[in-house]
């Protein structure tokens, strides 16, 4: 059957493919989900700015010993000769000079700048270690509960509900001092490594539940997929299915949960140290610095300003980057 010229032209327009240059084909062909997520992340200005801030702050924290050597001041070094008779720093804005960039602590005369860097190092170490432990526990629990189902899911879900019901702050206030007294006497100095270990254990007991529930929901939606059925039919074992088939499809929500957990642990550790049950003297810590600065809000506001602004920027950068990472890893995101 012959077509009229108009119908033939319309049929040609419908069936013909749009002209695409080789450069455009390279842009859309052969890109993995990770490359697509990275491209979306690079286009997000908030992600780039917050990422740069995080890189700078984390690098400074990791280089604390080197900075202390170049700065010429140790974290516990005191400058009593630069304090007046009332223990207040001499000079302008809490003793800010070319030798002490952020001034000195009242009463003790320690350098605030170097103490703040070491405090950031302490907070980041605890936060990353706690996030790694809690994420590992949550992922394993979530995969087991979601894939096995039945009685295993019921028991693990019950344990999750119990952990969620426990009051974190009251539990920490009761347990941390008790554990310290159990291993060390009332007059003995508790070493810094023991304080850090106890805090990480406290976070691990309470904070794995969110990741576990997230992973469980994802596994329930994946366990009936074709690739899981094929692995099961081929005789693959439980470990192979969970960690070789299911886990690679869960990295996106796991990474987002990890990135958003770190700032929570930074503020949580600072809160516990502020209450006197976290990191104790003489170890540098944000929460302890802010607690010690409260009596000097009117007489030496710089003492609370510098550590307060730094922890605010650190937590804000982590939260913004975590939100941007979640949008970048979401295939349905329009950003």
Whether the upstream peptide bond of residue 282 has omega within 30° of 0, thus cis, is: yes
Note whether 203 and 133 are within 8 A (CB).
yes
For 199, the token pair is 């805090």
> Mean pLDDT for the chain?
83
Statement: residue 211 has pLDDT above 80: yes
Torsion of the alpha carbons at 96, 97, 98 and 99, rounded to the nearest 10: -90
Statement: residue 14 has pLDDT above 60: no
Q: Which domains does the chain have, with CATH numbers?
A: 46-329 (1.10.3720.10)
Predicted confidence (pLDDT) per residue in 225-249, tens digit: 888 888 888 887 888 888 888 888 8
What pLDDT is stored for residue 291 in this prediction? 87
Predicted confidence (pLDDT) per residue in 302-335, tens digit: 888 888 888 999 999 999 988 888 888 776 655 4
Alpha-carbon distance of 240 to 247, in angstroms, equals 10
What pLDDT is stored for residue 20 in this prediction? 45
Note whether 257 and 135 are within 8 A (CB).
yes
Q: How confident is the model at residue 17 (pLDDT cuts 50, 70, 90)?
A: very low
Predicted confidence (pLDDT) per residue in 179-197, tens digit: 888 888 777 788 888 889 9
> Which distant-in-sequence residues (6+ apart) come within 8 Å of 231 by Cβ?
240, 241, 244, 245
């Amino acid at each position: 059957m012959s077509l009229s010229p108009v119908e033939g032209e319309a049929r040609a327009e419908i069936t013909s493919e749009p002209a695409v240059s080789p450069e455009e084909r390279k842009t859309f062909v052969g890109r993995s989900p990770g490359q697509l997520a990275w491209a979306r992340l690079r286009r997000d200005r908030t992600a780039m700015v917050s990422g740069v801030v995080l890189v700078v702050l984390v690098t400074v924290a990791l280089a604390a010993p080197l900075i202390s050597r170049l700065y010429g001041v140790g974290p516990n070094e005191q400058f009593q000769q630069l304090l007046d008779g009332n223990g207040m720093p001499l000079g302008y804005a809490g003793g800010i000079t070319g030798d002490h960039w952020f001034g000195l602590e009242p009463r003790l005369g320690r350098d605030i700048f170097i103490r703040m860097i070491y405090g950031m190092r302490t907070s980041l170490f605890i936060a990353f270690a706690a996030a790694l432990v809690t994420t590992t526990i949550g992922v394993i629990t979530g995969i087991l509960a979601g894939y096995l189902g039945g009685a295993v899911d019921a028991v693990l879900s019950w344990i999750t509900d119990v952990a969620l019901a426990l009051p974190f702050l009251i539990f920490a206030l009761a347990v941390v001092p008790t554990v310290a007294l159990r291993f060390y006497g009332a007059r003995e100095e508790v070493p810094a490594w023991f304080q850090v270990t106890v805090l990480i254990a406290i976070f691990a007991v309470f904070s794995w539940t969110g990741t576990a529930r997230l992973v469980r929901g994802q596994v329930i939606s994946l366990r009936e997929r074709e690739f899981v059925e094929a692995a099961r039919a081929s005789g693959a074992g439980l470990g192979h299915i969970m960690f070789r088939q299911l886990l690679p499809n869960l990295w996106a929500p796991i990474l987002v949960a990890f990135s958003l957990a770190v700032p929570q642990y930074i503020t949580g550790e600072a809160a516990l140290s502020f209450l006197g049950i976290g990191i104790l003297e003489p170890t540098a810590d944000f929460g302890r610095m802010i607690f010690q600065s409260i009596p000097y809000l009117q007489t030496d506001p710089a003492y609370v300003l510098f550590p307060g602004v730094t922890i605010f920027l650190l937590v804000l950068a982590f939260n913004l980057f975590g939100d941007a990472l979640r949008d970048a890893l979401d295939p349905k995101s329009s950003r």
